[in-house]
Structure 1
Amino acid sequence: MCQLLGMNSSKLASVQFSLEGFVRRGGETDEHRDGWGIAYFEGNAHQLFQDPLPASVSPLAEAMRRVPVRSRNIIAHIRKATQGAVELANCHPFARELWGRSWVFAHNGNLPANELPLDGRFSPVGTTDSEHAFCFMLQELERRFGARQPHTEALHEALELLNRQIAELGSFNYLLSCGQGLFAHCSTSLYHVERAYPFSQASLIDCDLRVHFGHLNHLDDSMCVIATKPLTTGEDWAAFAPGELRYFTGGTLAPGGRARRTPSMAI
């Protein structure tokens, strides 16, 4: 199956160090050769880059490593195809508009898409079970909340219900963001690490590269990185429990892993 990489930061930041190891899993140190993609946010909008080539040899991946993007929320994905051809339309992440915001989604797992009926408001462009499930999620969220975006707490509760429904059909690890926070759901395997003061030194598992984050960050910087499998040694990666949904905002895990009600409608 595929692998996921996500980042939520308190400030504009790059995920360059983690990406150096992650892209190597796309055909060099692991078997995920069937395309890759990365999305990041600028306010309510997103930028999306995809390539059906293996990430380890992709010129696009090399360009992204040389000139890293900076954002508060980033989602990346390397693909090992289980459903759908190896082509651009089937590369993650996927993006759609809902409630006047761009929503970005990437999935690791395998689902019977025909068990998730779509009414046409959101339709897949490609042929993956992942994009189908994403369209189904947005369809059901819009059905539940209408044209008005819910508070984070209500959205978290709705996602938990959808997660249970979809995960009954197969494995459903995913990352989801609209640019002001990042949801991460574990079905089988997902981890996160928080990089904040006092910063530590870490070494990548997939290549000979190490860094001391204290040399790159200010005392008030904070970032959470989420991955299918730990990317480094020297850091304490926290495993998700199966069925757990965590919400990251401001570069840290929300208390109890849950979104909280906020006075504004933005999440």
Structure 2
Amino acid sequence: MPLVPTAELIDRARGTGRGVAAFNVITLEHAEAVARGAQAAGAAAVLQVSENAVRFHGGELAPLAAAIAEVARGAQAELSLHLDHVVSAGLLHRAAEAGFSSVMFDASKLPYAENVAATAAAVRWGHAHGVWVEAELGRVGGKAGDAPLDAHAPGVRTDPVEAAAYVAETGVDALAVAVGSTHAMVERTAALDHELIARLRESVPVPLVLHGSSGVPDAEIARAVAAGMVKINVGTALNTAFTGAVREYLAAHPAAVDPRTYLAPAREAVAGTVERFLRVVAGA
């Protein structure tokens, strides 16, 4: 099936009051699992690659992007390609030629004025090259290299008034907001601020994005979508399923040396996780 622009998936979901799940891809097995999970759920999904994943692959974007795109084209589900948490202008400027229809440009660690300036420049470039641009305001935290962050600490969450001004000043197409989740959570214990989500939805004219959804219980995700969240990012939950399956296989087969024997159950575990998240996000 042809690749679908991320903007199309987001607009369609927003128009029906549902969400779209976006899954972080590190290996080919991740991409295959997302495609299988989406097919099983009968739902569209976003395949996203972070700058950290590109760095893991030696800084080479094109080979990974080409492989993921081929997986997506062979899937019986609507899939888009998204470049996630980009901080480097150099990587941003490689997005379009690598086949990504959307980018999340992350200047959230900068002071507000610098964040606005950097993001506005990224948006100008993106729109000139047909790329949909997401940005972040607030502090979701939890990524590798981040200082420890309490998602409930004062000043961490996104302010609706500031968010409205930020969107107007930058021209972004979607906004990732801090509402109680953090990246890299391995336990699903996050409690979201649903009142804040509703206020942000009323204040911000563009789709809202929830990062750190791996640590959010299913019921909380469903409530967040109902309150106005549209793009739901999932990464750590896939890696937890993947690594857990590998550990289980190798514990039962300590003499195994062929990676296919343990990557197969890992891929299936990720596919099952993808299907479950998609059913929750789509309201099934």
TM-score by length of 1: 0.34
TM-score by length of 2: 0.32
- Structure with greater helix share of residues: 2
